[in-house]
Amino acid sequence: MTLTPPLASGKKIRAVLVDDSATIRSVLRRKLEADGSIEVVGTASDGLEALDLIARARPDVVTLDIEMPRLDGLSTLQRLMETQPTPVVMVSGLTREGADATIRALELGAVDFIEKPALATGVGAVADDLIAKVRHAARARLQAPMVAPAAPRSPIFRPAFNERWRKRIVVIGASTGGPQAVRRVLTALPAGMRVPVVVVQHMPAGFTRSLADRLNDLGPLRVREAEAGMALTPGEVLLAPGGYHLVFDRQGVASLTQEPPEMGVRPAINVTMASIAQIPMANPVAVILTGMGSDGTRGAGLIKQAGGYVISEAEATCVVYGMPRAVFEAGHSDEVLPLDAVADGIARQVREIAARSA
């Protein structure tokens, strides 16, 4: 899949809206066209109509419903990515089935998603979120859809290693484009990497459980959505639940809070990294992957102050080069790596930390 070229300065974003509900199409059109930077160039009520329209209109971004007659959203997305890769924002329901389908859509190449029930409320914040996601999607670099992962690699750590988790902790933060990036990293980590891993992915409540379950099925490490009282455990990944900040005490035990969002998000990567930076002898390895905004910059700075190591994703592989750019420009990046090299970078740092601590 080729990368999406950036839009010319001052050029309006050309959007196609796909939904079987005329009401939702009307709401989407009204909200998007209220923004002077977006032009709706067509709408479709099902996947077959959408594919024909997109081929003719060649839009910069598509909003795509999941449940539609004749050809559903996932099948439409898959065909679109095979024939005419285009940035897509999914319009998702809040049911468990809707959440599972949304995670699958992100794996197939969708850039982001918006919650469908909220679209009809008319709340200004929802409209702002939709517009922001369409703007970022239109300028995003598309990543190739994920294929089935290879068999887990052989362990790279000696069985006799001192595996006290306090010797090393890995914490990963991501936003737009993150589910696919996180999956690529976690499935490439060595099966024998016996360290705790914490992942904070910007995602609303109701979707992170599906993401955790999907990641657990595909990689060598156990992945769970974090709950209060869970402890950092070697070989296990804890994923911050949507709608909550995930923090750890000095013994590595998790708690969830609904303190105000930081930088407009909850969970916030900064909050989790700040708590990990306070764990004695944590030797954290922090990774900032693709995403809009600058969440993770404050946290990366605290990780550095605590003696940790920070890896940021290279611009060339980011769907949105926002958070890694902010970390790099703040001077917190020890290493800048393309996505496919991040897992090896993590493993290398964990080995070096373990060797120093032996």
Averaged over 74-84, what is the pLDDT? 95
Residue in 202, 275, 294, 332 annotated catalytic: 202
- Which residues partner with 59 through β-bridges? none
Name the class of domain 13-138.
Answer: alpha beta
Read off the tokens for 338. Answer: 């393309």
Query: What residue ranges in 116-217 does DSSP mark as E strands?
Result: 169-174, 197-201
DSSP 245-305: EEEE-TTSBEEEE-PPPBTTBSS-HHHHHHHHHTSTT--EEEEE-SBSS-TTHHHHHHHHH
336 to each of 123, 146, 173, 226, how far by Cα in Å? 39, 23, 15, 28
Does the structure show a pLDDT above 80 at 194?
yes
More confident site: 245 or 132: 245
CA distance 335 to 341: 11
Q: Where are the domains of the chain?
A: 13-138, 165-357
Known catalytic residue: 175?
Answer: yes
Confidence band (pLDDT; 50, 70, 90) for 160?
A: very low
Known catalytic residue: 202?
Answer: yes
CA distance 47 to 74: 9
Q: Pairing mode, if any, of strands 245-248 and 254-257?
A: antiparallel
Report the pLDDT value the prediction gives residue 10, as an integer from 0 to 100.
67
CA distance 65 to 72: 8
Residues 6+ apart with CB under 8 A from 170: 195, 196, 197, 198, 284, 285, 286, 287, 346, 350
More confident site: 159 or 272: 272
- Which residues partner with 14 through β-bridges? 39
Residues 6+ apart with CB under 8 A from 164: none
Known catalytic residue: 65?
Answer: no
As a whole-number percent, the residues of the chain with pLDDT over 70 amount to 85
Mean pLDDT over the full length of the chain: 87
Residues 6+ apart with CB under 8 A from 314: 324, 336, 337, 338, 339
For 196-239, the pLDDT digits (tens) are: 999 999 998 889 999 999 999 987 889 999 999 999 999 899 99
Averaged over 314-337, what is the pLDDT? 97
125 to each of 118, 128, 130, 132, 248, how far by Cα in Å? 10, 5, 9, 10, 30
Poorest-confidence range of 4-8, 172-176, 244-248, 323-327?
A: 4-8
CA distance 88 to 168: 38
Averaged over 248-260, what is the pLDDT? 96
CA distance 193 to 197: 10
Residue in 45, 92, 175, 275 annotated catalytic: 175
Does the structure show a pLDDT above 60 at 254?
yes
CA distance 297 to 292: 12
Does the structure show a pLDDT above 60 at 163?
no
Same fold, 13-138 and 165-357: yes
Would you say 332 and 298 are in contact if contact means Cβ atoms under 8 Å apart? no
DSSP 52-64: HHHHHH--SEEEE
Does the structure show a pLDDT above 80 at 117?
no
Averaged over 162-188, what is the pLDDT? 85
More confident site: 120 or 209: 209
Q: Pairing mode, if any, of strands 236-239 and 112-115?
A: unpaired
Does the structure show a pLDDT above 60 at 244?
yes
Name the class of domain 165-357.
Answer: alpha beta
Residue in 245, 275, 295, 333 annotated catalytic: 295
- Which residues partner with 142 through β-bridges? none
Confidence band (pLDDT; 50, 70, 90) for 91?
A: confident
Nearest Cα to 101, choosing from 77, 127, 136? 77
